Amino acid sequence: MRDVIFVTADSVRYDFVDAMEFVSTFSQHQGVTGAHYTRPSLASILTASYQGAIESRAMSPTVAEAFSRTGYTTIGLSSSPHTDPRFGFDAGFDVYENYCEAGNRGNPLRQFASQFDLIRKVYHRFRPPHAKLSNRLPDDELIDNAISAFNDESGPRFMWLHMMGTHRPYGLGDDAVPKEIDRKALFAPEKLSEADKKTITQKYRQTLSRADAEIERLVDSVDSSDPLVVFSSDHGDEFGEDGHYFHQPQRRRVVDALTTVPVATNDLSLCDPLSVLDIAPSLLGEVGGEIPAEWHGKDVRETPRDQTLTIAPWHGTTTVAWQDFETKIVSRDADVSMVRNGETVDVERDDVDEDLKQQMRDLGYVE
């Protein structure tokens, strides 16, 4: 069985994939996401199920479990706090790391201090949330770790990676979008000048190009003669099309800029159009695995998908978009649940502890 490498990079818009030179050499497909921001979207991708989006967590049978049952050694590396094991993302992975709270988890003083708004505010004056983002694991280190983790195991190997270098604010250090422009785009986009807007998209393209170089290094460096490689993303970002910037989960927006992402493959023939939920079943079909009956994603190597859903939950309220690729129907801010085999599944409630919430605020997930 062939090694499988599935890379997702955060916030990659379909119409910007040309900034990724290496990925652009793959065959290109247009994928519709299962949700509108990182956690529910990655949950829907890694469970090939809309239930993942509805519950914003990964539940059995996960993609890693299905590859494991097929005889694969499974490796999952992600540098996003959204993919913490407490949301089930580690299920089925023999090796799993999400680098959450690097240097912070287990720091009792910080955990104690984080309970108090005033202390937290003072703390942030000296180490502002924007600067804290530089603590996220840089993509080059993630790729170093991925190469080691992959080469340490014997085949066949299924590896999933989620890269965060493409998440806003775009770039790190001197290379980053200036903090005031990033904040303006998030909180007062009407005040952005044309030059500011250009800076944002230029820096965005640069982050895509850097992520692309890392993906190329990964593929060149793994000890595998003929890996099957797929690249995709969890959602796009907005650049002021309807007056909004980036992806802001609390808005529950399901516009194409957010829900259309690249699906690029080096050696896997897929039918267009497709949902990102179809990536795992198609990969599993290609290597001869059995596709779990519970999955909503389809093997689209030969049969195209004729409709898809995007489910955008935030704190118990959900916007849903259905489309058949000609018509799109949106139900905004609804009370959504899923009933299957007599069992009802509701949209996630606010079940995140304070420490993790703070990390999400640092990433711009404003409540």
Nearer to Zn ion, 10 or 362 (CB): 10
Stretch that binds Zn ion, among 31-39, 58-66, 190-198, 309-317 (CB under 5 A): 31-39
The structure tokens listed for 317 are 């309220």
Q: Which stretch binds Zn ion (CB under 5 A): 32-40, 58-66, 202-210, 275-283?
A: 32-40
User: Shortest gap between Cβ of 297 and Zn ion (angstroms)?
Assistant: 19
Cβ contact 204:167 at 8 Å = no
Shortest distance, CB of residue 162 to Zn ion, whole angstroms? 8
Min CB(75)–Zn ion separation in Å:
20
- The 8-class DSSP code of residue 319 comes to E
DSSP 153-188: SPSSEEEEEEE-TTSSSPS-GGGSPPHHHHHHHHH-
Tell me the number of residues near Zn ion by CB under 5 A: 3
Site mask, Zn ion, residues 185-224, x = CB under 5 A? Answer: ----------------------------------------
> Min. distance of Cβ 354 from Zn ion in angstroms?
21
Q: How do strand 245-246 and strand 260-265 relate by DSSP bridges? A: unpaired
Choose the stretch contacting Zn ion; rule: CB under 5 A; options: 15-23, 30-38, 87-95, 316-324. Answer: 30-38
Minimum CB separation of residue 361 from Zn ion in Å reads 15
Stretch that binds Zn ion, among 38-46, 138-146, 155-163, 182-190 (CB under 5 A): 38-46
Q: Report in angstroms how near the CB of residue 97 gets to Zn ion at its nearest.
A: 18
Q: How far is residue 280 CA from its own chain's centroid?
A: 14
Region of 3-11, 45-53, 249-257, 260-268 interacting with Zn ion (CB under 5 A): 3-11
Alpha-carbon distance of 90 to 269, in angstroms, equals: 28
- The span of 4-12, 250-258, 320-328, 345-353 binding Zn ion (CB under 5 A) equals 4-12
Do 66 and 289 contact (CB within 8 A), yes or no? yes
Among 38, 74, 98, 265, binds Zn ion (CB under 5 A): 38
Q: Is residue 256 within the footprint of Zn ion (CB under 5 A)?
A: no
Q: Calculate the CA 267 to chain-centre distance.
A: 22
Q: Does 44 bind Zn ion (CB under 5 A)?
A: no
Q: Distance from CA of residue 92 to its chain's centroid?
A: 18
DSSP three-state, residue 267: coil
d(CA 348, CA 46): 17
* β-pair type (260-265, 228-233): antiparallel
Q: Determine if 10 is a binding residue for Zn ion (CB under 5 A).
A: yes
x/- map, 274-303, Zn ion, by CB under 5 A: ------------------------------
Helix (H, G, I), strand (E, B) or coil at 238: strand
- Pick the piece of the chain touching Zn ion (CB under 5 A) from 10-18, 130-138, 210-218, 354-362: 10-18
Q: Compute the distance between CA of residue 214 and CA of residue 237 in angstroms, rounded to an integer.
A: 21
Residue 298: φ, ψ to 5°: -120, 155
Of 116, 113, 110, 60, nearest in space to 89 by CA? 60
Q: How large is the angle between the packed helices 194-221 and 139-152, nearest 10 degrees?
A: 20
Shortest Å distance, C-beta 116 to Zn ion: 30
In the complex, the smallest distance separating the C-beta of residue 11 from Zn ion, rounded to whole angstroms, is 5
Minimum CB distance to Zn ion, residue 306 (Å): 27
- CA–CA dist 152, 97 (Å, integer): 15
Kindly give, in sequence order, each residue whose CB lies less than 8 Å from that of residue 69, ignoring residues fewer than 6 positions away: 289, 290
Contact set for Zn ion, span 224-243 (CB under 5 A): 234
Residues that bind Zn ion (CB under 5 A): 10, 38, 234
